[in-house]
Amino acid sequence: MRIGELAHLTGVSTRLLRYYEEQGLLQPARTSAGYREYGEEDTVRVWQIRSLLAAGLSTRVIAELLPCATGPMPVLEACPNLVATLRGELADLDARIDDLTRSRRALSRYLAATNQPSEKQAA
């Protein structure tokens, strides 16, 4: 199938499919005229990529994990470094959540302080 058909089947734009190819996540065959040709397995691959992106993984990490992926959800099979990679990503995410939580508290304090009537207004 051509790129437009894959885009239609997966709901992903052709521009994004080309980006996935640039990142090494998709490797379509090429016709003699240079057109991209995708197989049915590429539909599943795009769903895998979208699912892993939704989990907050970068395309760099996804490229490492795709060989371990089976099925459209995907299920990740045991591969070398899989657990270490996922634990590292989870630790990074936890650190970002901690940073955001601190920022949220600080902003909440600023907001609370601005909602307090000043002494001049109260008089």
Q: What is the pLDDT of residues 12-64, one digit of tens each?
A: 999 999 999 999 999 999 999 999 999 999 999 999 999 999 999 999 999 99
State whether 23 and 69 are in the same domain.
yes
Stretch 91-102: mean pLDDT, rounded?
Answer: 97
Specify the pTM.
0.79
High-pLDDT (> 70) share of the chain, %:
94
Residue 72's pLDDT is: 84
Structure tokens that stand for 18 in this block = 């080309």
Residue ranges making up the domain that contains 49: 1-79
- Comparing 13-17, 34-38, 75-79, 95-99, which segment has the lowest mean pLDDT? 75-79
State whether 69 and 87 are in the same domain.
no
b/e map of 66-91 (b: 16 or more CB within 10 Å)?
bebbeeeebebeeeeeeeebbeebee
State whether 52 and 92 are in the same domain.
no
Residue 107's pLDDT is: 96
State whether 3 and 46 are in the same domain.
yes
Structure tokens that stand for 11 in this block = 């709901």
User: Can you say how many angstroms the Cα of residue 13 is from the centroid of all Cα atoms in its chain?
Assistant: 15
